[in-house]
A and B are shown apart, each in its own frame.
Chain A
Amino acid sequence: MKTSVRFLFFVLVGMLVSSISLSKTILLKPGTSIQKAVDAASAGDTLILKSGVYRENGIVIRKSLTILGENRPEIDGQGKGNILIIAADQVRIEGLKLSNTGRSTMDDSAGIKFFDSKHCVIKNNLLENTFFGLHFSNSSDMTITENVLISNAEREYQTGNGIHLWKCKNNLITNNQVSGHRDGVYLEFVTKTEVEDNLVSKNKRYGLHFMFSHENSYRRNTFRGNGAGVAVMYTKNMVMENNRFEENWGASSYGILLKDISDSKVIGNTFLKNTVGIYMEGSSRIEFEGNTFRENGWALKLMASCDQNTFKGNNFTQNTFDMSSNGSVVLNTITENYWDKYEGYDLDKNYVGDIPYRPINLYSVIVEKIPAAVILWRSFMVTLLDRMEKILPTLTPDQMIDQSPKMRPYDFG
């Protein structure tokens, strides 16, 4: 019995060793065909690309390979189609520069395109002038990290999405930099994915755009100066924590646009200098806690179609308007926030104001109806009107109040 076990063990080790010795490392020099090398290689092999320019596109990979770049070799797609097309498990792509894909919306030309893959790693690549950057469909357990994606398109239709995931799950997207694409990060039908520590800036449309993507989390990302900020639609159970939304300026530009979102958490984010910090409609049961709204045009635009949301313990400082709404029905809870426009007093010294605060002022209602009226903001006339409305609310929804406004801002560090 014992000898047979030992025999089995040796056989297993022997198989393992032979399989290791079978996986080769193949060196490639500029001028040789990557496709041929891929075809010649067997699963488990490593391809090392020496530095230089490889002019090739439409490279198809259907086996588990590791492709490493030495001193960042460039694969130039010469403006035709995709560069790498991958449909395999456990592929690793690292240290490459991919540039100049085609510009077709027919096949969504991409720097790297994954189909039906699992457990792949895409790390430390530089993508320049690609239509779509990294494109994934029906893939899972992907790790996308430390990539830099830059597109120089001037118009929205001239470029695709930076990191595009469709019908994927269990992915990790971290430490990437995406700029100049249509949507920086686009997720559709994506679940259980973590998006962390990315810098997404100056994209033509949305920095982050996700639809029908449940149970995802977004942490410590920075979204700056994107055409229309971040849009989140038809999703439940998402977590947005410690992100920064900055300088999303424009007529229909938002820090976050929340449309039909439910059962989610928005915690510890910073909204700085956006035209609208958060715009939300049709959303319910979202917790907003510990967020900082600073120097926005409108910190919150809370449409009357939202219900059971909680805004608790947030800082509102130096926003032109703290809040606006389109109706008088209020089904949300607003409590224990700090509002720098609060003018009440605190006689019992418990750091909570003794009279409630009304975050919607008259003039924000007027500007909502007539945008041109913003030009009169801060004039004496308008200040007087606002004061009168505060004493006798007529136009503003009288239920929209914070019953226990804080006297001092929270220190979120």
Chain B
Amino acid sequence: MLKLLKYALYDILKSRFAIIYTVFLAMVAVSIYQVSDDLSKVSLSLMNILIMIVPLISAVFATTHFYNNLEFIELMLAQPVKRSQVFLSQLFAVILMLSLSIVIGFGLPMVLWGADSSLITLLAVGVILSAVFTGFAFLASVITRDKAKAIGISLALWIYFSLVYDGFVLYLIYSFADYPLEKVTLGLVMLNPVDLGRILMLMQLDISALMGYTGAFFQQFFSSGLGVLVSAGALVLWMLWPGMLASRVFGKRDF
């Protein structure tokens, strides 16, 4: 398993994409640091980019990577190793690479120009979202045999979680404005990893506004032990289940 992971990781870190992605993130971070005059504005701008870009890149890259490596994967399957190990080594390699890119690309400018707690949270959110969307991409890759279709599914999932889902929640809140909606919205937020990541950032950036009436309810929930436990649990589930499901499908797939 470790050996497989090692080779998968070598392979992926040597690819041009890893370098381009890291440099791209670093350039974004550097330019934002140059333009903005203070840290919370930096984290705000970086967050806007990260919430959009990271899931997108993760989804597209992971899907293409899976198909590009299909021959290697098939070769490995001919060897006396477990299928799940072959699959998981690929998955972890991609997650590790994407996370490293974020940590280096965003982290280096932070080391140079300073960071606060919101920027550290931002790094964590980036890593979590990479893991979630890589899982989705691998799931999309194993349930179809067509690369284009798999990319399509990944992109659809990205659009759904980044845009459509929030639109749906907003519509719901607007339609049922007369009812107490705090718990419902809280439940709905748990069903979207992008929202969870975003709210982790809101807790840092917009704490004053969150202290408003229902806001205080959210604030209490997310800062209480139970709230942290539930939301962290939800995020862990989001990181695990797509990959696990994909691994099972992969295990039964006929090559």
Contacts and interface: CB of A to CB of B under 8 A. Distances in A.
Interface in A175-213: none
A40 interface: no
A298 interface: yes
B198 A275 contact: no
B208 A378 contact: no
Interface string A369-385: 11111111111111110
Contacts of A250: 211, 216
B41 A372 contact: no
A371 B163 contact: no
B227 interface: no
Contact of B211 (A253, A321, A367, A369): A253
B218 A375 contact: yes
Given A253-B211, A295-B208, A296-B208, A380 B177 contact: no
Given A372-B182, A375-B199, A380 B163 contact: yes
Interface stretch (B72-80, B99-107, B168-176): B168-176
Contacts of A374: 209-210, 212, 214-215, 218
Given A297-B212, A340-B41, A371-B214, A376 B169 contact: yes
A251 B52 contact: no
Looking at B40, B47, B51, B210, the one whose CB has the most chain A CB atoms below 10 A away is: B210
B185 interface: yes
Nearest to A272: B208
Nearest to B159: A380
B216 A382 contact: no
Contacts of A249: 207-208, 211
A358 interface: no
B119 interface: no
Given A251-B216, A370-B174, A373-B173, A275 B209 contact: yes
A51 interface: no
Contacts of A370: 173-174, 177, 181
B132 interface: no
Interface in B190-219: 194-195, 198-199, 201-202, 205-216, 218
Interface in B41-89: 41, 44, 47-48, 51-52
B48 A274 contact: no
A275 B212 contact: yes
B202 A318 contact: no
B98 interface: no
Contacts of B233: none
A249 B176 CA distance: 27
Contacts of A384: 163
B208 A373 contact: no
Given A297-B206, A298-B209, A369-B177, A381 B214 contact: no
Contacts of A295: 40, 208
B114 interface: no
27 contacts: A249-B211, A250-B216, A251-B215, A251-B216, A253-B211, A275-B209, A275-B211, A297-B211, A318-B38, A318-B40, A366-B174, A367-B212, A370-B174, A371-B214, A371-B215, A372-B214, A374-B215, A375-B185, A376-B170, A376-B173, A377-B202, A377-B206, A378-B198, A378-B205, A380-B163, A381-B170, A383-B48
Interface of B: 38, 40-41, 44, 47-48, 51-52, 162-163, 166-167, 169-170, 173-174, 177, 181-182, 185-186, 189, 194-195, 198-199, 201-202, 205-216, 218
Interface of A: 249-251, 253, 273-275, 295-298, 318, 320-321, 340, 366-367, 369-384
